[in-house]
Copies of this chain bind each other. A is one copy, B any other.
Amino acid sequence: MQEVRAGKREQILDVAGVNVIEKGFAATSIEEIIVEVGITKSGFFYHFSDKNELAKALLQRYIDMEEDIFRDIETRAYELNDDPLHGFLISLKLLAELAEDLPNGHPGCLIASYCYQSQLFSADIRDLNAQALMAWRMRFQRQLEKIAKTYPPRMEVDLADVADMLSAVADGGIILSRVMHDKSILPRQVMLYREFIKALFITH
């Protein structure tokens, strides 16, 4: 078997993942993927019936990875401080540090990337994308509502919007970092969002 290391399917996803984030899905040719992996075109189509299947697998893997990251951060944060507000503030600090430690900055958000190429993909991929953002909203909103029980919000805001704002600031921060070639922007934006959370829940 040619499966020298870790299976070609995973290697295809690795290579495709990097290239899609770099130049977009349409501009990532199957040709360049198979060359980089060291595989034939037949090999590629053995694993994925068409390019759309690759896109779906890529997105699913990305969503699962992000889910893992958020779950880990949340777990660690509430281990350090089980108060809902301070746990959340620690989560945000950990998130900012994670972004800061990436050597070349955040590589990019696949959901944002797909968003601007959505017409290329089938409806189920667009649904997957929407579900992922909805899951993030739920995750953050749940924590915010827990906070609000002990710390009544000092402004009249919809906590779903506040939850969405973290996704927005993160996706926007990634774009700013990439375009302006300044990887510090993303972690700074996360920390600024953290200031907003403090202003929203803490009385001074």
Contact = CB atoms under 8 A, between A and B. Distances in A.
Nearest to A171: B172
B119 A23 contact: yes
A4 B38 CA distance: 53
Contacts of A204: 154
Contact of A21 (B116, B178, B181): B116
A6 interface: no
A195 B157 contact: yes
A101 B199 CA distance: 30
Interface in A82-123: 108, 111-113, 115-120
Contacts of A157: 192, 195
Interface in A158-192: 158, 161-162, 164-165, 167-173, 175-176, 178-181, 185, 188-189, 192
A44 interface: no
A179 B26 contact: no
A22 B119 contact: yes
Contact of A164 (B27, B189, B196): B189
Interface stretch (A8-16, A72-80, A129-137, A142-150): A129-137
A189 B133 CA distance: 15
12 contacts: A24-B25, A24-B26, A24-B116, A112-B175, A115-B179, A126-B179, A158-B188, A161-B188, A164-B185, A165-B169, A171-B171, A172-B173
Interface of A: 21-27, 108, 111-113, 115-120, 126, 129-130, 133-134, 154-155, 157-158, 161-162, 164-165, 167-173, 175-176, 178-181, 185, 188-189, 192-193, 195-196, 198-200, 204
